[in-house]
Structure 1
């Protein structure tokens, strides 16, 4: 019997010893109550308590936690959107007592404040402004939560608006608007590119025509210079200008026929193509130049005769009439006498 009593005592002692020790994990705080009243807060490590008298009433997580809140609200133009607000928070080390005893359901409390702030801010904004100013909404949520939750021992680390989801019909309309704007911009860019191509092509053609005309002018100038030099050379050997011109025309005539015949793919026909045609053309040119010179000389002589007659009339005027002042009156009187 004595041995049984000893064993029983030892067994109870071991149980009491085991119940006296407890451990607290890292980033956790344990609340110890004595006879139902708060006694102390134990942090991470191995701790001792009085069995039966002391009791661990709860443990508080000191890690940063995240709560995702999904809210449905409407914008200023009565467009309903679903917003996902992520709240990152933790319990302050020095305010574990307030976090455990003052607030029963912290997640519900945080959710209520998030709903209140979001539904107060979003109806003031249009849908486009909600996307652009989501950071302002997140800052307003964080400010409101900090003011409310600090009293209960909670610190709001950050608030993020991670999703804004309008109604499906609104999204489709927005996509159509964006597509139309992009098509408009594409059409404007294509029109501008076409205009630039047309202007560049016109400028290139104008420059080409200018250079082509300049080349033709240079070519004709060189041909004329060559002809003059050829005539001078022929004159030096005793050939007069008319014979030299005829020789040059015949030479060019045969050179042209040779160049036409050397091209096998050419279908050009030169009419007339006899040497007599070249001589006739030369005679016609000479006759034209001669007639032109004669007409010019006749016009020159006529102008000189009229000028001499006017000078003679000016000399026959009375001396009291100044030629420079009354020349027109004298001419009119002379015309009347003739009539």
Structure 2
């Protein structure tokens, strides 16, 4: 029994050493194993074995794609301070785990330094508007510089992206005002064009209305004249001369007008004078006016002929 208690510590130590001899490496992970402080091997995913108290796990490296966001503040060519957020996607090269682990102690700081250097060299050459337009060119320049520098350390640069451009607050406010002014200007132009089109179309409609109205009045007067002519012809056939026919037509229209006015119950129109003699006076005035107009026309024609004859005599 005493011998059994004597061997218990040794058995426990053996089990413990056996437990320490095995370890598990996760997927997409590389483990660096050192023996007596010196590099021994690189272990990949799965169940691995090492010699207890002789070998030790010096460190682990992820073989997944990683992303580092770097914010750089710099000045543009037109003296505007701007902050750029550059996202760098990188990965440890599987065949260069040794270089990635032993050559470079702080990869994040190294990548950040290169990003600062490239961005502060490229952005001061551009105006603020060009920074927004050419952000892809900035990203390409950063990737090219990082690719050449980090490859020797066992890192591969997958992609670089300029994900955010943040100018100074006052500059952004000014840009927003400029943008708003431009939009208001365009809106005013469209409103002015719309108002002009409405005015033009309204004028066209009014002109067309006037034209049709005038055409209607002309057609109406033409039909009235044709009706009067037919009425005079009918009266002439029964022995009534033209003057008497005209007087009869005027009197008839006079009474027709009185009848139309009388049919309106709420009218305030008063026709003066309204006696039958008024129609006769109107006819006499019309005849006198036509006669005077014809006389004036004949006199003007005679004067024109006399003037032409005088000019021909002088020319001869």
TM over 0.5: yes
After the TM superposition, which of the residue ranges 264-273 and 78-87 deviates more from structure 2? 264-273
After the TM superposition, which of the residue ranges 207-216 and 173-182 deviates more from structure 2? 173-182
Q: Secondary structure at the match of 2:193?
A: helix
Instruction: Output the CA distance in 2 between the equivalents of 1:92 and 1:6.
Output: 49
Deviation at residue 266 of structure 1 after TM alignment: 3.5
Deviation at residue 301 of structure 1 after TM alignment: 9.4
Structure 2 match to 1:65: 66
Q: Secondary structure at the match of 1:86?
A: strand
Larger radius of gyration: 1
Q: Which digits, 9 at most, give the CA deviation of each residue in 1:127-176, with x for residues without a partner?
A: 11112211211121112111111221212222222222222222222222
Structure 2 match to 1:86: 87
Structure 1 match to 2:206: 205
Deviation at residue 112 of structure 1 after TM alignment: 0.2
Q: Which digits, 9 at most, give the CA deviation of each residue in 1:233-257, with x for residues without a partner?
A: 3333443322322222122222222
Deviation at residue 90 of structure 1 after TM alignment: 1.4
Structure 2 match to 1:149: 150
Instruction: Output the CA distance in 1 between the equivalents of 2:263 and 2:182.
Output: 62
Deviation at residue 109 of structure 1 after TM alignment: 0.4
List gaps (5 residues or longer) in structure 2: none
Instruction: Sort the Cα spacing of 1:209 and 1:297 in 2 relative to 1 into closer, same or farther, 3 A.
Output: closer
Instruction: Output the CA distance in 2 between the equivalents of 1:165 and 1:280.
Output: 95
After the TM superposition, which of the residue ranges 281-290 and 141-150 deviates more from structure 2? 281-290
Structure 1 match to 2:119: 118
Within a 5 Å distance, the mapping from 1:286-301 to structure 2 comes to: 286-290=287-291
Instruction: Output the CA distance in 2 between the equivalents of 1:20 and 1:249.
Output: 137
Instruction: Output the CA distance in 2 between the equivalents of 1:33 and 1:112.
Output: 30
Structure 2 match to 1:41: 42
Instruction: Output the CA distance in 2 between the equivalents of 1:226 and 1:139.
Output: 93
Q: Which digits, 9 at most, give the CA deviation of each residue in 1:245-299, with x for residues without a partner?
A: 2222122222222333333444333222222211211122234444555677788
Instruction: Output the CA distance in 1 between the equivalents of 2:77 and 2:191.
Output: 37
1:102 counterpart = 2:103: yes
Instruction: Output the CA distance in 1 between the equivalents of 2:179 and 2:303.
Output: 84
Q: Which digits, 9 at most, give the CA deviation of each residue in 1:53-112, with x for residues without a partner?
A: 221111101112111111111111211111111111111222212111111100000000
Structure 2 match to 1:53: 54
Structure 2 match to 1:31: 32
Structure 2 match to 1:336: none
Instruction: Sort the Cα spacing of 1:274 and 1:92 in 2 relative to 1 into closer, same or farther, 3 A.
Output: farther
TM-score under structure 1 normalisation?
A: 0.82
Count residues with an aligned counterpart. 311
Instruction: Sort the Cα spacing of 1:52 and 1:195 in 2 relative to 1 into closer, same or farther, 3 A.
Output: same
RMSD (Å), alpha carbons:
2.7
TM-score under structure 2 normalisation?
A: 0.88
Instruction: Output the CA distance in 2 between the equivalents of 1:196 and 1:274.
Output: 54
Structure 1 match to 2:260: 259
Structure 2 match to 1:313: none
Q: Secondary structure at the match of 1:30?
A: strand
Instruction: Sort the Cα spacing of 1:35 and 1:277 in 2 relative to 1 into closer, same or farther, 3 A.
Output: same
List gaps (5 residues or longer) in structure 1: 311-326, 333-339
